[in-house]
Amino acid sequence: MINKYILEAYKIFEGKELSKELIENLSEIKGEDVLDLISLANKVKNKYAEPMHVCTIMNVKSGMCNEDCKFCSQSLHNNADIERYSLSPKEQILEQAHKAFNYNIKSFALVTSGTGYRKANAEFNKIVESIDEVHNKVEGSRVCASIGFLSDETAKILAEHNISNYNINLQTSVDEYGNLIASTHTIFDRIETIKLLKKNGVKVCSGGIIGVGETIKNRIDMAYTLKELDVDVIPLNVLVPIKGTPMENRKQTDVYEIAKTFAIFRLINPTKIIKFAAGRETVMKDFQALLMLSGANGFLTGGYLTTRGRNSQEDQDFEQQLRMF
Ligand code: SF4
């Protein structure tokens, strides 16, 4: 017997949007019914979303961030043992970009720690130079960035330099951001940057973290906020608890709760790229394929900021196998 709420959710294939009430009922599903929910999400992905989308990131500036995000190893408010360095030279960035494109990874993102660039200062201009360098020297390259809060001025400059996607995560729901994530800024700083990017015609990549102490309702709220903001790519991270951060001892969220979350994000955002980002190999290990079949159509490969991932060849094989479902 298929759960009645899952049966009702099949009306999504008639082009109907599912109500928030139905989504909340689906989020209560437990046990073997979760597999039916996952299967539905995978079918929705196949019907409405793009095929698999793989990207990689390079941490071009690490640590020394004044913000106090509780999960983050790079915050000066935390005591994580990480490598800290200032902005990487463009030659080093170009070398990494060549490596990524040799592995046929379509998108390469430059990531900096820090509050961001509301002024086009010298460091921002160097980042823009590196973006141009990769575009000019690596044929067919798609360069993305994740460099914090922007102003209209800096968002416009990035648009003029043909940035492919800009990542700035909401991390959690609007209601819980101050409690669960950070106190030195608000989620509205993030939302403002998203709106400025959209206004300037830049595609936005924005998602969040599962496992920071949020409820399933908070996750649903975040999924709806992302839908309202019409972001293009939704990266979902599973918390990697890092020693020296306030989240170091946080218990791992159960796999079936994470799978349900992926499925629900797909049902709320049927056409978007939903990308499994941090935590895929390091935390989810044996279950990463299950989560990839729960409605995701993308993943991040090749290591994330201060934690490491699998090698790119293994991930290329993984991607080929996933395309068969
Ligand atoms: S998530 Fe970004 S803004 Fe927050 S502490 Fe880390 S580097 Fe800074």
Atom of ligand 1 nearest to the CA of 72: 6
Q: Which fold has domain 18-309?
A: TIM Barrel (3.20.20)
Compute, in angstroms, the gap from residue 69 CA to the centroid of ligand 1. 6
CB atoms within 10 A of CB 57: 25
Dihedral angle, C-alpha 263, 269, 272, 273, nearest 10 °: -30
Burial class from Cβ neighbours inside 10 Å (0-12, 13-18, 19+) for residue 254 reads exposed
Atom of ligand 1 nearest to the CA of 113: 7
* Residue 162 Cα distances to 13, 131, 136, 137, 183, angstroms: 35, 9, 12, 15, 33
pLDDT at 195: 98
Compute, in angstroms, the gap from residue 128 CA to the centroid of ligand 1. 20
Compute, in angstroms, the gap from residue 68 CA to the centroid of ligand 1. 7
Compute, in angstroms, the gap from residue 87 CA to the centroid of ligand 1. 15
Compute, in angstroms, the gap from residue 43 CA to the centroid of ligand 1. 35
* Residue 29 Cα distances to 35, 148, 223, 289, angstroms: 10, 36, 18, 21
Atom of ligand 1 nearest to the CA of 73: 6
Dihedral angle, C-alpha 272, 4, 237, 134, nearest 10 °: -20
Q: Return the higher-pLDDT residue of 102 and 130.
A: 130
Mutation probe of ligand 1 site: the residue of 64, 70, 74 with most atoms within 8 A of C-beta: 74
Atom of ligand 1 nearest to the CA of 78: 5
- 106, pLDDT greater than 90: no
Strands 149-150 and 208-210: unpaired
Pocket of ligand 1 (CB under 6 A): 65, 67, 69, 72, 74-75, 113
- 54, pLDDT greater than 80: yes
Compute, in angstroms, the gap from residue 129 CA to the centroid of ligand 1. 23
Question: Helices marked H in the chain — which ranges?
Answer: 4-9, 20-26, 33-48, 90-102, 122-137, 152-160, 177-180, 187-199, 216-229, 255-268, 288-292, 312-322
Q: Report pTM.
A: 0.93
Mutation probe of ligand 1 site: the residue of 60, 69, 186 with most atoms within 8 A of C-beta: 69
Question: Is the Cβ–Cβ distance between 9 and 18 less than 8 Å?
Answer: yes
* DSSP states of 233-301: EEEEEE----TTSTTTTPPPPPHHHHHHHHHHHHHHSTTSEEEE-TTTTTTTGGGHHHHHTTT--EEEE
pLDDT at 304: 45
For 109-156, write each residue's pLDDT tens digit: 999 999 999 999 999 999 999 999 999 999 888 999 999 999 999 999
User: d(Cα 286, Cα 309) in Å, to the nearest integer?
Assistant: 14
User: d(Cα 16, Cα 1) in Å, to the nearest integer?
Assistant: 23
- What are the sequence ranges of the domains in the chain? 18-309
Interval 31-57 mean pLDDT: 94
Positive or negative CA dihedral for 283, 167, 248, 254? negative
pLDDT at 313: 73
Which positions ≥6 away from 190 have C-beta within 8 Å? 149, 168, 169, 170, 171, 206
User: d(Cα 80, Cα 72) in Å, to the nearest integer?
Assistant: 8
Compute, in angstroms, the gap from residue 115 CA to the centroid of ligand 1. 7
pLDDT at 308: 53
Q: Whose CA is nearest to atom 7 of ligand 1?
A: 113
For 79-90, write each residue's pLDDT tens digit: 999 999 999 999
Interval 4-26 mean pLDDT: 97
- 305, pLDDT greater than 80: no
